[in-house]
Amino acid sequence: MSQADDFTIRRAAATDAALLAELGTGTFIETFGHLYTPEDLAAFLDQAHSTAAYARLLGEPGVAIWLAFAADSTPAGYLVAGPCKLPVPALEARAGEIRRLYLWRAVQSGGLGTRLLGIAFDWLGGQGHTPLYIGVWSKNVGAQRLYARLGFDKVGEYDFPVGRHLDREFILRRARVAG
Ligand SMILES: CC(C)(COP(=O)(O)OP(=O)(O)OC[C@H]1O[C@@H](n2cnc3c(N)ncnc32)[C@H](O)[C@@H]1OP(=O)(O)O)[C@@H](O)C(=O)NCCC(=O)NCCS
């Protein structure tokens, strides 16, 4: 049994907006908080990781969110998937996207991220999404290595706003969907 099997994964429900806001805010700050001014960070967290933002996301047609919990029921991480919203020229009509994937640092590198991605790939495939896209910070080489191993190739770049700051992001594409 791998370490990733110690976690329970379930689909998030409408009642999980506050839990997701806490998890989304905490894991974003832990991973990337040091990169931004307090003003830019606060604006981004309010826009993307507030309870209201997750309530909207949970109600968005075609979006699915998974939550992973440790054995003691502590939230460990989450993944958001749905139709692709990245700025891809001539985007395929059925393109899907892994929109967010964040784990607490304490549970990283144990296979949980790969397990969540496998669940999302199967679900996206079942929804008829093909191909799949993911946006990743240009300097997040660890995540890029994982996505390359799972069959994603770089197809473009764009600027992702965090408050008034612009992050350079790579757009990755995976022709194969399930598996
Ligand atoms: C990226 C992430 C979801 C991967 O999940 P994970 O469970 O840690 O990864 P797995 O154990 O399944 O696979 C290991 C691979 O993940 C990547 N990885 C591991 N820790 C990482 C970290 N702190 N940051 C980025 N990538 C990481 C590496 O490619 C690693 O492979 P390696 O051992 O050859 O270096 C997770 O590390 C994470 O949440 N990181 C912080 C947030 C983040 O960067 N999210 C991605 C936004 S696009």
Average pLDDT of the segment spanning 101-111: 97
| Whether the predicted pLDDT of 1 surpasses 60 | no
Domains (range + CATH), the chain: 3-174 (3.40.630.30)
Give the residue from 161, 172, 45, 23 showing the smallest Cα distance to 105.
23
pLDDT of residue 5: 85
The yes-or-no verdict on residue 96 having pLDDT over 80 is: yes
Q: How far is CA 110 from CA 28, 78, 105, 146, 177, in A?
A: 19, 15, 10, 12, 23
Q: Measured between alpha carbons, how far is 20 from 39 in angstroms, rounded to an integer? A: 22
Rounded to the nearest whole angstrom, what is the distance from the C-alpha of residue 63 to the centroid of ligand 1?
23
For ligand 1, atom 45, the nearest C-alpha belongs to 102
Q: What is the mean pLDDT of residues 25-51?
A: 97
From 32, 109, 172, give the residue whose CB has the most ligand 1 atoms within 8 Å, as the site to mutate: 109
